[in-house]
Amino acid sequence: MKDYIANLPSDAGIYKFFDKENTIIYVGKAKNLKNRVSSYFTDSKQHSRKTLRLVSQIIHIEFTVVGTEKDALLLENSLIKEYQPKYNILLKDDKTYPYLLITTEPFPRLLITRKLDRSLGTFYGPYSNVRAMNSLLELFKQLYTIRTCSLALSRENIEANKFKVCLEFHIKNCKGPCENLQTEMDYLEDIWQVREILKGNISQITQIFKDKMLAHAEKLEFEKANIYKTKTNSLTIFQEKSVVVNAKITDLLVITLFTDEDSIFLNFLEIKNGAIIHTDTFEAEKKLEETNEEILIYAIFSLKDKYNSNAKEVITNIETEISIDEMEIYCPKIGDKKKLIDMSVRNALFAKKEKLQKKAVAEETHKHQHALLQLQQDLRLKELPTRIECFDNSNIQGTNPVASMVYFRNGQPAKKDYRHFNIKTVEGPDDFASMYEIVTRRYKRLQEEGEKFPKLIIVDGGKGQLSFACQALKDLGIYGQIPIIGIAKRLEEIYFPEDSIPLHISKKSESLKLIQRIRDEAHRFAITFHRDKRSKNSLNSELEEIKGIADKTLQKLMVAFKSISKMKEASETEIITIVGKAKAKLVLDYFKEQLEEKKKV
C-alpha cells in the first residue's frame, strides 16, 4: 500500500477506498492526491476512531485525475450520490448527509432533511458539501416563491378561508396560495422547474427564462422582462460555478484507451451539463488480433449499459471511422472536448503506470522472498527470517562511542524501526562490552513492553562480539529463543554461538548478499550517528571556553548555526536575535580575540 501511495500523482482528483469485498466505502476529493491519501496512513494519533476504523478496512485504492480542485468537488458529489459509501456518512459529524426533499402534499414544500423516508416525497442528494446545498436554496429563493409554512393547504381548507397570509407574503417571498392568491397549477410550474434544476437540467430552465424575457420585451413589459433577465443571470452564474467544462457540452461519453502486448488500459468519463457524473478506469486482458476499434465498440456498448447512458456522442483518443446507428464517434483535435480527451488520457496512462509499478513491486518482493528462503536454508533456521535485527558499534579511539540497530522486514529495510544507542556503561574502546550493553538494552525493553522478538539477530563482528551478545541474551533468560549469528568483515565468515568453525557461504549466494546488505546498512547508520555526535561535541567543547555562556545558550547556538564557521559568519543582529544582546557580545568578543591571536601567530 505504501509503495502504491508513494507513486500517486500530485494532481487534483478524487480517490475511492474499497474494502475486502471490493465495495466503495469512501470517496474523497483532493487538491493533491498524493498528499491527501498519504495523510490517512500517517499521524494516526491525530485521527478520530472512525477514521482509524476506515483506514483499517482499506484494501484497495482507485483514483481519477481532474483539472482543478473544483472539478474534484463536483465529481466527488456525483460519486457519493451514486454509491452512497458508508464512511462518507459516518465521518460527517456523526450525522448523515442532508437531502433536499420536495414533499408530496398540495403546494409542495422544499425542505432540508437528514431522514430518508421515501413516503414523504422526492429526495435529492445526499449533499456532502452543505455550502453547495445552501447555494442551491439561495438560488431557488431568487428564482421562485415557494412557501415555507407548514399549513395543510388542501382545496377544502383554502375554500373555507381557514388561513391568512403571513409576513412572507408581504415581503414578496410567497404569493399567498393559502388565500387562493396563487393557483396550484402556477405553483406546480415553479416546483417542476426546481425539480429540473436539481436533476441538472439547468440549460432547459435558462432557455425558458430567456423566452419569457423576450416575450415580455416584445409586449413592452420591460419590468417583467427585467425580472426574467435577472433570473437568467442568476441561473447562468450558478451554472458557471457548477460545471467542469463548457456548459454546452452535455450527454457526452469520453473513452480513451491504450494497449500493450497483453493488456488494455481504458478510462471512461460521462459528461452531462458540463459536469462529470461518472468515471471509471480499468485494465482488461487483450485478446489475440483484437484491434483498437473492436475494443472501442465493445467498451461503448458495455459502458452505456452499465451506466444506463442515453448519450449519442462519443469522443475518443484513437482515429476511427466506425459508426453506430444514431451515434457520433470521433477524435477531437482542439477545444474543450480535446481537453477532456487529455484529462481522460492521463487517467488511462496512470492505470498503465500503476500496473508496471505493481509488477516491479511483485518482482522485487519475489526476489527478497527467494533470498529469505535461501538464508533460511543456509543457516538451517526453523522459521523464515521475516524480521531481522542487526547491531554495530562505532567509535574512534574510544571517543564518543555509539551503536546502531537496523531492522529489516521481509528482506527490506524498515527505517522507522531503526534505533541509535549512546553507550552508557562502558569506558574506553571496548566493542565487546558495548555489544553486551546494547543487546541487553534492546531485548530487555522488548520483554518489558511485550513486543515480538525478531526471527534472526545479526552481530557485526566475529566470535568476540557474538559471544558477548549471546551472554546478554543468557542474562535476560531468552538465549535459544532467537537465532543469532555474527559476520566477520575480513573473509565474510558466518559464526554461530558455541561453534568455533565458521560457515562460508558462496559469494554469489543471495543469502550472503542479504546479510552483507543488512550489515553494511547497520554500519552506515552507526557511522552517521557517530559523526553527528562527534561534530556536536567538538562544537560544544569549543564554545564552552566562552566565559559567561551556559549550556542552554550553547544549545540554542548549536541548533541555529550547526557549526562554528557559520556562527562566525553570522551578523551581530542574527546572534542577538537568538541569545540576546549581552550574551551575543560575549560570543562576538571571543571570536574577535581568537582572530587577533591568529594574526599575531
Give the closest residue to 563 by CA, choosing from 586, 587, 538: 538
- Average pLDDT (447-467) is 91
- pLDDT per residue as tens digits for the range 390-441: 998 876 555 567 888 999 999 999 988 999 888 888 776 788 898 999 999 9
Q: Which residue has the higher pLDDT, 561 or 600?
A: 561
Neighbours of 223 (CB within 10 A): 7
Band (496; pLDDT cuts 50, 70, 90):
very high
Q: What is the structure's pLDDT at 204? A: 78
Sign of the dihedral through C-alpha 359, 364, 368, 373: positive
Q: In whole angstroms, give the CA distance from residue 97 to residue 95.
A: 6
- Is pLDDT of 238 > 60? yes
Max mean pLDDT range (131-135, 271-275, 383-387): 383-387
CATH class of segment(s) 252-354: alpha beta
Q: In whole angstroms, give the CA distance from residue 76 to residue 88.
A: 10
CATH class of segment(s) 2-90: alpha beta
Q: What is the structure's pLDDT at 92? A: 44
Residues of the chain with CATH 3.30.420.340: 387-534
Q: Which residue has the cell 497483453?
A: 262
Q: In whole angstroms, give the CA distance from residue 479 to residue 461.
A: 19
Residues of the chain with CATH 1.10.150: 544-600
Q: What is the structure's pLDDT at 396? A: 54
Q: What is the structure's pLDDT at 418? A: 92
Q: Enter the CATH code of domain 544-600.
A: 1.10.150
Q: What is the structure's pLDDT at 298? A: 81
- Is pLDDT of 383 > 80? yes
Residues linked to residue 279 through DSSP beta bridges, in sequence order: 269
- Is pLDDT of 269 > 60? yes
Sheet hosting strand 110-113, strand order edge to edge: 110-113, 99-103, 121-124
Cβ neighbors of 429 (< 8 A, separation 6 or more) are 395, 397, 398, 401
Q: In whole angstroms, give the CA distance from residue 44 to residue 38.
A: 11
- Is pLDDT of 345 > 80? yes
- Average pLDDT (486-511) is 88
- Is the preceding peptide bond at 454 cis, omega within 30 degrees of 0? no
- Is pLDDT of 445 > 50? yes
Lowest pLDDT segment from 27-41, 52-66, 260-274, 503-517:
260-274
Q: Do 246 and 236 meet the contact criterion of CB atoms below 8 Å apart? A: no
- pLDDT per residue as tens digits for the range 64-90: 888 777 677 767 777 777 778 888 754
- Is pLDDT of 284 > 80? no
Neighbours of 91 (CB within 10 A): 17
Q: What is the structure's pLDDT at 598? A: 65
Q: Which residue has the higher pLDDT, 363 or 156?
A: 156
What is the 3-class SS of 134-180, one letter each residue? HHHHHHHHHHCCCCCCCCCCCHHHHHCCCCCCCHHHHCCCCCCHHHC
How do 484-488 and 493-495 pair as beta strands?
Answer: antiparallel
CA dist 528 → 380, 395, 525 (Å): 33, 11, 5
Q: In whole angstroms, give the CA distance from residue 269 to residue 275.
A: 10
Say how many CA atoms lie within 13 Å of 386 toward its Cβ.
4
In 45-129, beta strands by DSSP E: 60-65, 99-103, 110-113, 121-124
- Average pLDDT (83-103) is 68
CATH 3.30.420.340 for domain 387-534, yes or no, is yes
* pTM for this model (two decimals): 0.45
Band (94; pLDDT cuts 50, 70, 90):
very low
Give the closest residue to 77 by CA, choosing from 255, 244, 192, 303: 244
Residue 201 dihedral angles phi and psi, to the nearest 5°: -85, 60
- Average pLDDT (570-594) is 82
Residue 224 dihedral angles phi and psi, to the nearest 5°: -70, -40
Q: What is the structure's pLDDT at 188? A: 92
Average pLDDT, the chain: 82
Neighbours of 141 (CB within 10 A): 13
- pLDDT per residue as tens digits for the range 177-205: 999 999 999 999 989 988 888 776 777 78
**Composition of the chain by helix, strand, coil, percent to 5:** 50, 20, 30
DSSP class of 327: B
- Is pLDDT of 312 > 70? yes
